Structure 1
Amino acid sequence: MPTNEMTGGEALARMLQAFEGGPMFGMGGFQLLPFYDAARRMGLKHYLINDERCGAFAADAYAKVTGRVGLCDATLGPGATNLVTALVESLNAGVPVVAIVGDTHRLHSWKNMTQESRQLDILRPAVKEVIRVEYIERIPELVRRAFAVATSGRPGPVVLDVPEDVCHATYPFDEEEFVVDPIHRAAPSLRVRPDATALDTAVDMLKAAERPLMLCGGGIHISRAAEAVTAFAEATNIPVAHTMSGKGAVACTSPLSAGLFGRYDRIANKLIEESDLLFVVGCKLGEIATKRYTVPPKGKTVIHLDIVAEEMGRTLTPALSLWGDARATLDEMRAALAGSGMKEKLAGWAGDVPKRMAAWRQDVDARLTSEERPINMARLMHELNLNLPADATLVADGGFAAHWGGLLYDTKQPGRGFVPDRGFASIGYGVPGGIGAALGAAHDKLGPVVALTGDGGFNMVMGELETARRLGLAFTVIVVNNAASGYVKALQHLMYGEGAYQSSDLAETNYATVVEAFGCKGIRVERPEELGPALQAAMAEKGRPTLLDVVVTRDPAKMLPAVDNRTVQVKKGDRVA
């Protein structure tokens, strides 16, 4: 067996190459220099990022778009701890990420090494598993383990901790040690189905239902199951509602789409009330999706299908729990329901959905087409619907942007055309998420990428436009410019009244001018009629990002994510749903 003497860093690079990994985002330090040198020599797609958190966000978005493992790295200490927020996003959202983290030389540990910290103790609760490499010869084995853990079950992030001396040491590896199982290059790497008896019961319950409704969460996209959901819904005439992360389970333009449910909805919450059977698929039923645990109302019959058994029964008690992969299970159930007559039986129930949706659209049309200045958020979302092609990807920053996008953006085909950071819902995801999504869209030959962020979120990460410009990425960043921490200011207005604002205002800034200094194209949009042309110009730009600085309402009574903006003041201490 031929051997090849190499550093631990090169062995890491060889393993990533075997997994066809990349792009990778990171900021180097001495501990991982042999890895960087090998990446250079081997031509691995590794990109310098300006902040490690943003690198992990970019890896997360790339993985969400492609299903492939997102990759990032960080050096000892502050580099490692900067990853925490983004890794929790991936953990909570079920996104496969492998983060390689440098650590101290083992002979020097706990002797006040520069930047040393209890980084593994800090990182451990933020990831699915922490893997410490104690021996150079185990690098191939442990990298395989990292990819297997990241892509199996409910996918998630894994930290591979590499001490300095292990990365710089050399070892004569056999070539056969760098062979990998290709199933772990993407998630889900393994699929399982529920117990056969439980599946039979679920089929019988669906057959007996008069008004069944599917509630789909982000697990649909983790499973790459949107086509399966669409086929199941069309074969049975069961309408589909979704969470923010589940948008695209069926196309929002489908007559079977009931839209967003939970804290904000179009028609879905009313359908949930009227339904006699709820089929929950790949959904954790968390606070936002359940409108602070009030949706569905008590007494509803629920079938809950999820890949994580611990999620079933966490917020409500289902009548039946199905532990399995969404796509594999739905395909099997669709086959079992063939010839059942459900499609004909539910024609009336399903046929009512597009009528209700049309009535909703007519009711809110004045806001969707509003001519008011500053620009109404509903008009911005409406213009995105009019101008983005079916294969576009809309990345939505946490909070304000994700809620408006979740409610009003319409995907035109099944799939993950809407990428919000709802695992942790931190702000600052928009630009790095756009970087990862743009690279992912290029890999999968998808259409344009648009990243929607607030001015507060953009202020956090605007330096990553230098990264995007350096990489020659042509995607669009929309800054929702309301000169405020909009969500907080709106809630302060709601709870305490006009003028009762504390630490929620930002300086008026022309971000279109700011980004010109980065070499990006900037367009200031102040009139609603300018939105469509600005979007078209941005999507036509080649080789660099374009930022649309969209001046939206400064009225906190109109900032909350709904077309029927909540303007009623509530008393202090009242619960806000």
Structure 2
Amino acid sequence: MSTASSASPATLTMSGGAAIARMIRAFGGGPMFGMGGFQVLPLYEAARELGLPHHLIHDERNAVFVADAYAKVSGRVGLADATVGPGATNMLTALAEALNAGSPLVCVVGDTHRDHSWKNMTQESRQVDALRPMCKELIRVESIKRIPELMRRAFAVATTGRPGPVVVDVPEDLMHDTFDFSEADFVVNPAYEAAPALRSRPDGEAVARAADLLANAKQPIVLAGGGVHLSGAAQALTDFARATNIPVAHTLTGKGAIPCVDPLSAGLFGRYDRIANGLIEQSDVVLVVGCKLGEIATKRYTVPAPGKTVIHLDIVAEEFGRTLQPEVMLWGDVKLGLQDLMAALGERAAALKARLRPLAESVPARMAKWREEVSGRLYSEEKPISVARLITEINKVLPEDGILVADGGFAAHWAGLLFDTKRAGRGFVPDRGFASIGYGLPGAIGAALAAPGRPVFSLTGDSGFCMVLGDLETAARLNLDFTVIVVNNAASGYVKALQHLVYGAGKHISADLNEVNFAKVAQAFNCTGIRVEEPGELEGALRQAMATKGPVVIDVIVTRDPAKMLPGVDSRAAVIKKGDRIA
């Protein structure tokens, strides 16, 4: 890849693409996914020579989805690449997911030769203009000698503050040209290998005010979002909750902020909930932790109701006041902020814990009552299979260290409501940054690469799976161990269910699919395929999949009734029959 100059042993002559690859290696970069083209060939050749793990994938959107899931599970920087034009623009949807979810990514894209730009070069577009709003920062390389500097910046921006995707746009001529670099050019700060690279503490006076409010609260509650996981603060939050007896509710991305099986876990809040919305309604002080309080989490901005005292802890100051006006703003890292709150409470924490014992004891009692009320759905023997029964069996089979990836649409909502993490940490990986369907398969690939040895299940709908199933070939080629569970209702289920709710029975259009046997599709890709039509077969199929080497697809035939396709009342719907509720 590089040769030492005879004039100076410290000089390394290499292409721009080789310099990029060398910088990725310097940061300990993990697997990289992309689909090559002339503009990025030097990067690929350097990856080959350096032994960097690089894998062909069938769609650049999927490449970024893989990188996103890898980053969410590992905390390390996810890597993807694309060539000019359609390769670059195919990344847009997945970049938006990573940007909104706070996933640290570095994506290298090739661009046109600068001497010929704007002369209708093949595949030329204003890709920089298209990509810029979909990433945390877009870095355009205009000088080959600056590649190491700008790659250092890419990793630094990706891993600091709220993490996010950084796109490095490299013109063809700079990717192919050579330059005499020095060894010193490739020295990096290892702090930027993973997020959060840097941590900052909230203002001490604000922490003291927040501690006073919590110490005097009659019925406080914590609302935990995905920022808990970005900070690696799940154990810190769990310790805080147990030390104070303050219940914790979570968003879809915040699941696992404390174990779902913990007695203090109030479960999901917002559009769909078990008991959390009721607890929030009765609360007087709300501690929002690493949560943006978006539409779904707030049930279209109605939860919490006005009049609550709100303390908001977040690394992004711009989130303060966007949805609720906080009494106290704690601007800083979630993990450090929770530790500081605990320290500020001091001896008052024990008194608070004793005073809140009745509240704490009410949480598991309410949860048990909820489970009893919905047990008919959780353990349903109906055919086609109830999705609630499917999630119940996943809860039974997936071990404590297991990971459940959830595709967009109702897969994420069903799993967000009913799946139970058994320990603190990121055991649930939904694509709720942008909620695009098609995440299930590439998300499983990324999770399996990030956590080898941990069981990985992925829940996806048949419509979302059809978008990406070509990358079953990728999964088989890499011989990855994971299971994709296809919720097969022969429909774009969420759309069909919403049409049913809003317009009435039978009033749906462009929502039905042909019946597909995805077990046979999996077998055609040299993967294991299992088809399940009976609820009693679910547990055995899931256990068989976990014991099978290589990718497994379980095709589960679920209800075709649009009245039963959603896990509860969608807050946007005007009318819903009371009997259709599970939450």
Normalised by the length of structure 1, the TM-score is: 0.97
From 387, 390, 408, give the equivalent of 1:377. 387
Q: Partner of 2:360: helix, strand, or coil? A: helix
- Deviation sequence 1:278-308 (CA, Å, 0-9, x none): 0000001000000011111111111111111
Deviation at 1:366, TM superposition (A): 1.2
- Deviation sequence 1:95-140 (CA, Å, 0-9, x none): 1000000001111111110000000000000001010111111010
Residues 1:425 and 2:435 aligned together: yes
Partners in 2 of 1:501 and 1:233 — Cα distance?
Answer: 45
C-alpha contact (below 8 Å) 1:557/1:565 kept by paired residues: no
Deviation at 1:338, TM superposition (A): 2.9
- Deviation sequence 1:54-112 (CA, Å, 0-9, x none): 00000000000000000000000000000000000000011100000000111111111
The residue aligned with 1:555 is 561
Residues 1:299 and 2:270 aligned together: no
The residue aligned with 1:116 is 124
From 347, 355, 364, give the equivalent of 2:357. 347
Partners in 2 of 1:568 and 1:383 — Cα distance?
Answer: 32
C-alpha contact (below 8 Å) 2:522/2:528 kept by paired residues: yes
From 229, 241, 259, give the equivalent of 2:267. 259
Q: Partner of 1:355: helix, strand, or coil? A: helix
Residues 1:410 and 2:420 aligned together: yes
The residue aligned with 1:452 is 459
The residue aligned with 1:496 is 503
The residue aligned with 1:574 is none
Q: What amino acid is the match of 1:551? A: I
Residues 1:136 and 2:144 aligned together: yes
Partners in 2 of 1:255 and 1:493 — Cα distance?
Answer: 37
The residue aligned with 2:53 is 45
C-alpha contact (below 8 Å) 1:560/1:566 kept by paired residues: no
- Deviation sequence 1:329-348 (CA, Å, 0-9, x none): 10111122232121111111
Q: What amino acid is the match of 2:457? A: V
C-alpha contact (below 8 Å) 1:228/1:327 kept by paired residues: yes
Q: What amino acid is the match of 1:435? A: I
Q: Partner of 1:463: helix, strand, or coil? A: helix
5 Å-filtered alignment, 1:216-365, equals 216-340=224-348, 341-365=351-375
Q: What amino acid is the match of 2:312? A: H
Q: What amino acid is the match of 1:388? A: L
C-alpha contact (below 8 Å) 1:494/1:568 kept by paired residues: yes
Partners in 2 of 1:154 and 1:540 — Cα distance?
Answer: 38
Deviation at 1:245, TM superposition (A): 0.4
- Deviation sequence 1:370-392 (CA, Å, 0-9, x none): 00000001000000000000000
The residue aligned with 2:488 is 481
C-alpha contact (below 8 Å) 2:160/2:196 kept by paired residues: yes
User: What 5-or-longer segments of structure 2 have no aligned partner?
Assistant: 1-8, 578-582
C-alpha contact (below 8 Å) 1:96/1:187 kept by paired residues: yes
Q: What amino acid is the match of 1:70? A: G
Q: Partner of 1:254: helix, strand, or coil? A: coil
Deviation at 1:562, TM superposition (A): 3.1
Partners in 1 of 2:573 and 2:126 — Cα distance?
Answer: 47
Partners in 1 of 2:504 and 2:138 — Cα distance?
Answer: 47
Q: What amino acid is the match of 2:211? A: V
The residue aligned with 1:519 is 526
Deviation at 1:569, TM superposition (A): 4.1
Partners in 2 of 1:131 and 1:207 — Cα distance?
Answer: 47
C-alpha contact (below 8 Å) 1:124/1:130 kept by paired residues: yes
Residues 1:400 and 2:416 aligned together: no
Deviation at 1:495, TM superposition (A): 1.1
Partners in 2 of 1:285 and 1:427 — Cα distance?
Answer: 22
The residue aligned with 1:200 is 208
From 420, 441, 444, give the equivalent of 2:451. 441
From 156, 160, 166, give the equivalent of 1:158. 166
Q: What amino acid is the match of 2:347? A: G
Q: Partner of 2:451: helix, strand, or coil? A: helix
5 Å-filtered alignment, 1:94-113, equals 94-113=102-121
Deviation at 1:563, TM superposition (A): 9.6
Partners in 2 of 1:276 and 1:501 — Cα distance?
Answer: 43
C-alpha contact (below 8 Å) 1:396/1:420 kept by paired residues: yes
Q: What amino acid is the match of 1:208? A: N
Identity of aligned residues (%): 67
Q: Partner of 2:122: helix, strand, or coil? A: coil
Q: What amino acid is the match of 1:457? A: G
C-alpha contact (below 8 Å) 1:221/1:416 kept by paired residues: yes
Deviation at 1:514, TM superposition (A): 1.2
Partners in 2 of 1:564 and 1:400 — Cα distance?
Answer: 11
Deviation at 1:475, TM superposition (A): 0.3
C-alpha contact (below 8 Å) 2:311/2:329 kept by paired residues: yes
Q: Partner of 2:14: helix, strand, or coil? A: strand
Partners in 2 of 1:11 and 1:392 — Cα distance?
Answer: 38
Partners in 2 of 1:72 and 1:55 — Cα distance?
Answer: 6
Q: What amino acid is the match of 1:453? A: T
Partners in 2 of 1:335 and 1:107 — Cα distance?
Answer: 60
Partners in 1 of 2:413 and 2:478 — Cα distance?
Answer: 30
Q: What amino acid is the match of 1:500? A: K
C-alpha contact (below 8 Å) 2:17/2:176 kept by paired residues: yes
C-alpha contact (below 8 Å) 2:502/2:573 kept by paired residues: no
Partners in 2 of 1:312 and 1:550 — Cα distance?
Answer: 43
Partners in 2 of 1:152 and 1:111 — Cα distance?
Answer: 38
Residues 1:509 and 2:519 aligned together: no
Deviation at 1:222, TM superposition (A): 0.7
C-alpha contact (below 8 Å) 2:483/2:554 kept by paired residues: yes
Partners in 1 of 2:518 and 2:259 — Cα distance?
Answer: 33
The residue aligned with 2:398 is 388
C-alpha contact (below 8 Å) 2:272/2:570 kept by paired residues: no
C-alpha contact (below 8 Å) 1:364/1:563 kept by paired residues: no
Normalised by the length of structure 2, the TM-score is: 0.96
